[in-house]
Amino acid sequence: MNNKEPLPALTSRTVQVGRRQIFISETGVGHPLLMLHGGGAGASGLSNYSRNIESLARQFRVIVVDMPGYGRSTKGVDRKDPFGDLAGAMLGLLDTLNISSAHVVGNSLGGACALRMALDAPGRVSALVLMGPGGVNTTRSLPTPGLKLLLDYYNGEGPTLAKITRFIRDYLVYDGSQVSDEMIRERFEASIDSQVVAAPPLRRPTGIPRFSRWDFTRDSRLKHCQVPTLVLWGADDKVNRPSGGEALRSRMPDCNLYLFSRTGHWVQWERADEFNSVTLAFLASRTAR
């Protein structure tokens, strides 16, 4: 599809996947591209990728998901193995949509889900684009201040506008002045949904976790994963350490790494034009004709 042709209208619907209802939005034509958002309070698919969908849909059938626990999808995620639970749900979604193989783009928690999909079912993932993914070196150092804020958002006094404002403006992005009050208010309102408060999707693990479930660098399958991978990381990420990019590049057989200067945890939003260009070039070269 060339840039002058109008895109198909963005359509949204809810899909039954096992016991869950998964909310998805679609546009574009071509090879399927599954887009998975981050795990911050109040996150959702469309808000996470508001600056990317149109560009990517010029070349791909873009499917933007509200992952379980978020947005308009069923709440609740397995705290003992959240990455595995989410990956299983997304593979089930591909089954329901009759998609045998898809490119997968994932930001933060969505990146962890995408990488787990590639480890659990490599034949289903034709290429990976990971932006500051979770679950990398997490058992090798203490959590960052940004990650602590994210994991503790529902603890103590519970969710507040001040908490989410501090997280987004001071930790999520490099330049907090670029984030509107309206966006923060929307995220806050989504974060206090009664079902989310009753079962927050992203919290600290319970008991003594299996390290391989929480840290991909402890998973022996990583060094055998042949899925073509592009890792994008903000050099000033305060949530997931940028050193995680080299940890993946050095372990995965077909992994490319791109660091963005003066960029925080939200590469696809903070550096949207460059993200779109780099991602399109990478995926186009990994798409069967």
Active site residues: 265
What b-and-e string marks burial along 207-240, b requiring 16 or more CB atoms within 10 Å of the CB?
Answer: eebeebbbbbbbbeebeebebbbbbbbbebbbbb
CB of 176 within 8 A of CB of 170? yes
Which element (helix H / strand E) includes 182?
Answer: helix 181-191
Nearest alpha-carbon partner for 225 in 128, 131, 135: 128
d(CA 223, CA 230): 15
Category of 116 on φ-ψ map: left (φ > 0), alpha (ψ -120 to 50) or beta = alpha
What is the Cα–Cα distance from 192 to 187, expressed in whole angstroms?
Answer: 9
Is residue 130 helix, strand or coil? strand
11-47 core/surface letters (b: 16 or more CB in 10 A; e: else): eeeebebeebebbbbbbbebbbbbbbbbbbbbbbbbb
Rounded distance between C-alpha atoms, residue 238 and residue 259, angstroms: 14
